[in-house]
Amino acid sequence: MTRNAVLWIAAAALLHAGQLQAENSDSEAEEIDEVTVIGARPLADLRREITLAEDRMYAIFNELNTDDGYDIICKKETRIGSQIPKRVCLARMYRERRSEAAMDETEVFVEGRMPAARRHQRILVGKMRALAEQHPELLKAVQRRQLRIQEFEAERERRFKD
């Protein structure tokens, strides 16, 4: 046999084997049901959903609230000693008071440690609660935010339970 004849026979055998394999895989493909694999959602996606829910909730609250001092403003801030910006949502009056305190070097403003801050926090919570009772869209936004937080915490707990 010549070398070309051997190559032709080998090629024909490979082609025939490939056809048999293709026929077998076609019949196997017909027998296998479709399988859908759903992977875990990244925690970053869940955090983003919390942020979107908060933005929606605060937008509704700010629209319904008649006292602009209690409007909630969210910004990314970098704390002293950290390079990582963190989202901080505060009432306008707190932001303005912090800015004033930062300009006055003799005064230190510590959130939550002043009686006025605690009083205004109670007022803010009362306003949010009253508006949520009167406006179903705000109540739904508050509930949606809480649900997103619970989903995130449950997923984080599931992944890092050790």
Instruction: Tell me 34's DSSP state.
Output: P
The residue with tokens 């990582």 is 84
Supply the DSSP string of 87-136, one letter for each residue.
Answer: EEEEEHHHHHHHHHHHH-TT----TTSSHHHHHHHHHHHHHHHHHHHH-H
Among residues 63, 62, 84, 64, the alpha carbon closest in space to that of 73 is found at 62
Tell me what pLDDT residue 84 has.
Answer: 93
Handedness of CA 66, 73, 121, 99 (dihedral sign): negative
pLDDT along the chain (162 residues), means of 10: 52 54 56 72 93 97 95 92 92 81 57 67 93 96 97 92 73
Tell me what pLDDT residue 56 has.
Answer: 97
